[in-house]
Amino acid sequence: MKKKISLLLCMIAAVLCFSACGNKESAQYDEESLTQVADFLIGYCAEADEAALGEWSELSEFAINLQLTEAGLPFEAESFLGVLDSWKAGITECGSYVEHGDYRFKETNGKIEVSTDAKFEKRDAVISFMFDSESKLESMDFSANMETGEILKKAGLNTVLGMGTVFCVLILIAFIISLFKFIPAIQAAFTKKPQEAQEVKETAAPKASSVPAVEAEFDDAELIAVISAAIAATEAQAGAQISTDGFFVRSIRRRPSNKWNSK
């Protein structure tokens, strides 16, 4: 890792020497300086293997910024790590790096875009570097050049995926709407239970009140029979032959309670 960092610092020193001798081609930025920075980044990413690129992510942000500041590179740890991640993703899609062509410069809203056409093992791509108004690197974009068949295939997959998602959502909504018809029945079931309980209480009350009346009737009949038997027994003791068929009890009235005088 130390050898690779030393190599990086030597390359940076060369970049700074060339930048000092370069002439500004415009008032906003120096094309020569931006070209050297872009060449350095592409060259370093192309020569470094995956293990070397991964070692940068193990360093702290402070350590990376310190090395970049000492080297005088016009970018910070965040943008530099973003370049490494974009390069690894581009290599995975396009294959090994072969070469790149001339750079194109474009200024938009105070930012400078430096792009170039690059050749890779599987397919060509456009590498674009974005710098701010102070010529500090912000990001790198990796755009692979796909053939018409690949573009149509990807577009078809995206269309099928999008339409499938829409239809699934519509089916789910239709299923939820179909369940709305059960809502009135559920509400009726919950509101019907208190009414049924109240009706049961109301119908149970008269039955409870009719029971004592029936019992009273049975009690009166038994009392009449007992009184009739008692009268017949009394007459029999008096020597009279009498039966209960000759009389009947019309009414029974309870006398108020009184105290018997025993004298």
Say if 261 falls within a structural domain.
Answer: no
Using only C-alpha atoms, what is the Rg of the chain?
53
* C-alpha to C-alpha distance for 172 and 261, rounded to whole angstroms: 95
State the average pLDDT over residues 241-263.
Answer: 58
Higher pLDDT pick, 8 / 130:
130
Q: According to the model, what pLDDT value does residue 208 have?
A: 47
Q: Are residues 12 and 89 in the same domain?
A: yes
Q: According to the model, what pLDDT value does residue 20 have?
A: 43
Residue 27 has pLDDT above 50, yes or no: no
Q: Are residues 125 and 223 in the same domain?
A: no
Q: Where are the beta strands (DSSP E) in the chain?
A: 97-108, 111-120, 125-131, 137-144
Closest CA to 110 of 26, 192, 229: 26
Question: What are the backbone dihedrals phi and psi of residue 76, each rounded to the nearest 5 degrees, phi first?
Answer: -110, 180
Angle, CA 69 vertex, CA 117 and CA 49 arms, to 5°: 45
Residue 170 has pLDDT above 90, yes or no: yes
Higher pLDDT pick, 18 / 182:
182
Say if 44 falls within a structural domain.
Answer: yes
pLDDT tens-digit profile of 177-232? Answer: 988 888 888 888 877 666 666 666 666 555 544 445 545 555 667 777 777 777 77
Q: According to the model, what pLDDT value does residue 199 have?
A: 64
For 152, how many CA atoms within 13 A lie in the half-sphere containing its CB? 3
Q: Are residues 137 and 20 in the same domain?
A: yes
* C-alpha to C-alpha distance for 173 and 30, rounded to whole angstroms: 58
Pairing of strands 137-144, 111-120: unpaired
Q: How far apart are the first and last CA of the chain?
A: 136
Say if 19 falls within a structural domain.
Answer: yes
Say if 165 falls within a structural domain.
Answer: no
Q: Which domain holds residue 215?
A: 186-246
Q: Running DSSP on this structure, what letter comes out for residue 179?
A: G
pLDDT tens-digit profile of 39-94? Answer: 989 988 888 888 888 888 888 888 888 888 887 777 888 888 888 888 988 888 88
Q: Are residues 102 and 53 in the same domain?
A: yes
Higher pLDDT pick, 106 / 218:
106
Contact 249, 243 (CB under 8 A): no
Q: According to the model, what pLDDT value does residue 102 have?
A: 92
Higher pLDDT pick, 156 / 191:
156
If one counts the domains in the chain, the total is 2
**Which tokens go with 227?**
């009184």
Question: In which band, very low, low, confident or very high, does the pLDDT at 25 lie, cut at 50, 70 and 90?
Answer: very low
**Which tokens go with 216?**
């009273």
Q: Is 60 helix (H, G, I), strand (E, B) or coil?
A: coil
State the average pLDDT over residues 237-256.
Answer: 61
**pTM higher than 0.85 for the full model?**
no
Q: Are residues 49 and 121 in the same domain?
A: yes
Distances (CA, A) of 181 to 115, 175, 177, 187: 61, 11, 8, 11
**Close Cβ partners of 239 (under 8 Å, ≥ 6 residues apart):** none
State the average pLDDT over residues 107-123.
Answer: 89
Q: According to the model, what pLDDT value does residue 77 have?
A: 86
pLDDT tens-digit profile of 132-153? Answer: 888 888 888 888 887 777 778 8
Question: In which band, very low, low, confident or very high, does the pLDDT at 242 lie, cut at 50, 70 and 90?
Answer: low
